[in-house]
Structure 1
Amino acid sequence: MPKKAPPANASAEPSFEQALSELESLVETLEQGDLSLEESLKSFERGVALTRTCQQALKEAEQKIQILTDQRLDAEPEPFDRDN
């Protein structure tokens, strides 16, 4: 039986909302304490990655807001490095 192809955006990072929702679900699951040690570690590792995704999205939003609310008359939008 042929394997299903992964969704087109499977390698892309989840949106902020998707990452936050998955993170909340992981926390609830971990708090229940029903997972094995190995499953708990995998969930924790995924949670760390999702936290970093959320933090990066919030940082980018903050940078955009700072650029848009700059009160200098000569202010121009500046590109920011997405990888920092």
Structure 2
Amino acid sequence: MAGKKSSSSSKAIDFEKQLGQLEALVSDMEKGEMSLEESLKAFEQGIQITRQCQQALAEAEQKVAILTRGENGELSEQPFDPDNQ
């Protein structure tokens, strides 16, 4: 099943891509070459990316909890609905 993509949610984000964007924003801001307005926009974008990444991590933690919670210590998978927490 290599190469098969998960169809968990249309809202799913590419965590690594978002993390890369956040690192690029931080790097640009650390250079100190942005105007105040540009810095504020970059900061706002960084906050949005951080929130998306935190949500993705929370959903991943919930999925792990669902997968590991089974009877008699056995792994069992149950449907996961991130909108129904």
TM-score range, shorter chain: 0.7 to 0.9
Q: Give aligned pairs, total.
A: 73
Identity across matched positions, percent: 49
1:13–1:35 CA distance, 2 compared to 1 (3 A): farther
Choose between structure 1 and 2 for higher RCO, CA contacts under 8 A separated by at least 6 residues: 1
Q: Distance in 1 between matches of 2:26 and 2:84?
A: 26
> Structure 1-normalised TM-score?
0.73
Structure 1: state its 5+ residue gaps. 1-11
Q: Distance in 1 between matches of 2:41 and 2:62?
A: 32
Match of 1:71 in 2: 70
Structure 2: state its 5+ residue gaps. 1-10
CA RMSD of aligned residues (A): 2.5
Following TM superposition, the consecutive aligned residue runs of length 4 or more in structure 1 with deviations greater than 4 angstroms are none
> Structure 2-normalised TM-score?
0.72
